[in-house]
Each structure stands twice: as C-alpha cells, then as structure tokens.
Structure 1
Amino acid sequence: MHALLLKRAYEPATESDGARVLVDRLWPRGLSKEKAKIDYWAKDVAPSHELRRWFGHEAARWEEFRERYHEELKGPGAQEEIELLRAMARKGRLTLLYAARDEEKNNAAVLRDYLREARRRA
C-alpha cells in the first residue's frame, strides 16, 4: 500500500496528492466541485449523522468517538468502501480529504489509522 495522506478539502489540490477521496458524509460548505478536484466521494465510510453530531469536535469525546467510529467502520456498507480505498491505495498515493478544522482529531485521521491497522493485519 502506498502513502495515505490527510488534507483539508479546502486546501488546493496538488500533483503529489494522488487520488483525492472525500471521506465526509456532507459536502464541504462553500467548496465548488471544480475547486475540490475530488476523484471519489466515500460517503459510506464517513461517521453516521448521529455520531458526527454527538462528537461535535469536542476534545473530551475524542477517544469514545474513535471507538464508536471503529464500530461503524466494521459495518457491511463501510467495508465495501474500505476495500475500494485499499485498492486505490495499492495503485498509488491516496489523500483522504475532510472538512473539519481540527487537523489531528477528525474522522479522516481515524479512517487512515483504521486502514493502516487493516494493512498490518492482512
């Protein structure tokens, strides 16, 4: 598997991004599709609306958010998308795009770690 990178969807696309995949359930507010230059929108690996609202990007809820999100990622819809992302990552660099302001505590970071752990188990 090639590099798995994280980037805010609002940052300009670069050649070094490789395949650009949006991993949020909602489209980033105010971002045009042309400017986003997204290759694929992986809605089914994004946290559920309920989990996203519960988390609310509150740092005190981060660890529990990670645990709950890991459980959601084990679901059948998410697993199909995860396999697709893994296939994309085998072909080249993959950049997971997210809209959150927090660059460390966001769903894309959890997903990246989940994909890396799955790679180690395989």
Structure 2
Amino acid sequence: MSVRVRRIYDPPESDDGLRVLVDRLWPRGLAKDAARIDEWPKGLTPSSELRTWYHGGGSYEEFRSRYEAELDAPQAAELLDGLRKSAREGRVTLLTASKKPEQSHATVLAGLLED
C-alpha cells in the first residue's frame, strides 16, 4: 500500500498514481486542467465548522480526533473504503492546498488509509 501527501501546487509527478484532491474548496489560483486530479471526494473533507475551528487556533491532536469522528459517518466511511481499495491497488497521492500538509487532514487520511 502506497499513500503519500503532497501540496496541490507542486507539479504532478509521473509516479503520483491516483491523484486525489482532499480539500473541500478548490485551491486558489490553480487552473483545473493544471491540477491533473483524478478524484475529488468532498465527502472525505473536514466539515466547514471543524476546519474553521482548527484554523482559529484549535490543537492538531483535537482536530485529528474530531476529524476521525466525522469520518465515521456512513458516506465518509464508504468513500474512505473506496480510497483504501485504490491504495491497495497502487499509489495514491492525496493533494491539499495546506501550507503545512504534515499537520493537515490529508495526513490524518493518509494514516487511516495505511491502517
């Protein structure tokens, strides 16, 4: 299983495999054709309320816990299972506009996909 997290603003690489945008909002200043995404499962993204809370000064540990709870919802769980299946079949690159991908929901997703 091969999952990695990259910034959407980085140029696509030949070994990215399935490119999945995991942000709810389209990244600013990026043309859709330049992004070369394969999937955009908005149901896997943090809720607007959680995202606002986190960017308002919430801790990453609490964010992770709340986000994992959101991913237990039926629609999100189904999407997560589908992405997990894709990761078993080849590389999946999770794309985010976050300036700190290592402290973002994309990293939480990557960890859940590798479990």
- Could you say which TM-score interval applies, normalised by the shorter chain? over 0.9
The alignment's TM-score, normalised by the length of structure 2, stands at: 0.95
- The gaps in structure 1 that reach 5 residues or longer are 118-122
- The gaps in structure 2 that reach 5 residues or longer are none
Name the Cα RMSD after superposition: 1.2
2:3 maps to which residue?
A: 4
Amino acid at match of 1:96: L
1:27 maps to which residue?
A: 26
Separation of aligned partners in 2, 1:57 and 1:79: 27
Say if 2:20 and 2:92, in contact at 8 Å, map to a contact too: yes
Displaced runs of 4+ in structure 1, greater than 6 A? none
Amino acid at match of 2:10: E
Instruction: Give the deviation of 1:103 after TM superposition.
Output: 2.6
| Residue identity (%) | 48
Separation of aligned partners in 2, 1:112 and 1:4: 6
Separation of aligned partners in 2, 1:30 and 1:38: 15
- Alpha-carbon deviations, 1:50-78, whole Å to 9, x = none? 000000074x5111000000100111110
Separation of aligned partners in 2, 1:50 and 1:110: 17
